[in-house]
A and B are shown apart, each in its own frame.
Chain A
Amino acid sequence: DVKVTQSSRYLVKRTGEKVFLECVQDMDHENMFWYRQDPGLGLRLIYFSYDVKMKEKGDIPEGYSVSREKKERFSLILESASTNQTSMYLCASSLMGQKRTQYFGPGTRLLVL
């Protein structure tokens, strides 16, 4: 079974803090994704990566950066957390190729005070 894990289920941070969200997958997937999910807005893609050190902006990259130094790990970084970044963050991974489904992690619920 594919397993996508996220470093924290719940996280509370202060405004202005630097925040790291980590995602690890164990199935050698080329593609990895970061989404945020908000009530009434649904899932929105922040960034994705199609290979080590490669990244592409999604729909809402502002205020975020990402890092993919190893194939199995994709990190989302909030350089200076703000209250409007309070959200549920979901990581996903998939094999290369359009037929491939995305497998999701359990999510990290981030609260920025």
Chain B
Amino acid sequence: KQEVTQIPAALSVPEGENLVLNCSFTDSAIYNLQWFRQDPGKGLTSLLLIQSSQREQTSGRLNASLDKSSGRSTLYIAASQPGDSATYLCAVRPRANSGGSNYKLTFGKGTLLTVNP
């Protein structure tokens, strides 16, 4: 059974700092990995999606990397801003023939990021 772990559970940094959020998964038979952002009391917003054949994806100040063989992904946020404060979740989708429903995402519990002005 796939398990997704995010470390740390919470992170507090001063504005302007570059930071890295970590995500690890136990089963490397994944189709893709996604990073989401969730603001308090709200739904999830997709930030980046990395296919299993890719090594990284970038969007603005965000860069996500994927090392499928080691079961790890990182989300790098450059020059953090108070508006980046949110919970960040990663989720993996299984490969089509890996025995699980290939529509089902397995989520980590998230990292709560606070960027202090």
> In the assembled complex, which residues on chain B have CB atoms less than 8 Å from the CB atom of A48?
101, 103-104
Give bound CA distance, A105 to B93, whole Å.
20
Task: Point out which of B45, B46, B91 has the most chain A C-beta atoms below 10 A from its C-beta.
Answer: B46
For B109, give the chain A residue with the smallest CB separation: A42
Give bound CA distance, A91 to B84, whole Å.
24
A25 at the interface (CB under 8 A from B): no
A31 at the interface (CB under 8 A from B): yes
- Chain A residues 45-69 with CB under 8 Å of chain B are 45, 48, 50, 56, 58
CB pair B109 A98 closer than 8 Å: no
- Main SS of chain A's interface residues? strand
A81 at the interface (CB under 8 A from B): no
Name A56's contact: one of B36, B91, B101 (CB within 8 Å).
B101
Known contacts A31-B103, A56-B101, A104-B44: A99-B108 contact under CB 8 Å: no
CB pair A109 B41 closer than 8 Å: yes
CB pair A103 B46 closer than 8 Å: yes
How many A residues touch B, CB cutoff 8 Å? 26
CB pair A99 B103 closer than 8 Å: no
Name B43's contact: one of A41, A45, A90 (CB within 8 Å).
A90
Known contacts A90-B43, A104-B44, A107-B41: A98-B102 contact under CB 8 Å: yes
> In the assembled complex, which residues on chain B have CB atoms less than 8 Å from the CB atom of A92?
44
CB pair A42 B108 closer than 8 Å: yes
Give bound CA distance, A98 to B102, whole Å.
7
Name A102's contact: one of B41, B46, B102 (CB within 8 Å).
B46
For A106, give the chain B residue with the smallest CB separation: B43
CB pair B43 A105 closer than 8 Å: yes
> In the assembled complex, which residues on chain A have CB atoms less than 8 Å from the CB atom of B41?
88, 107, 109
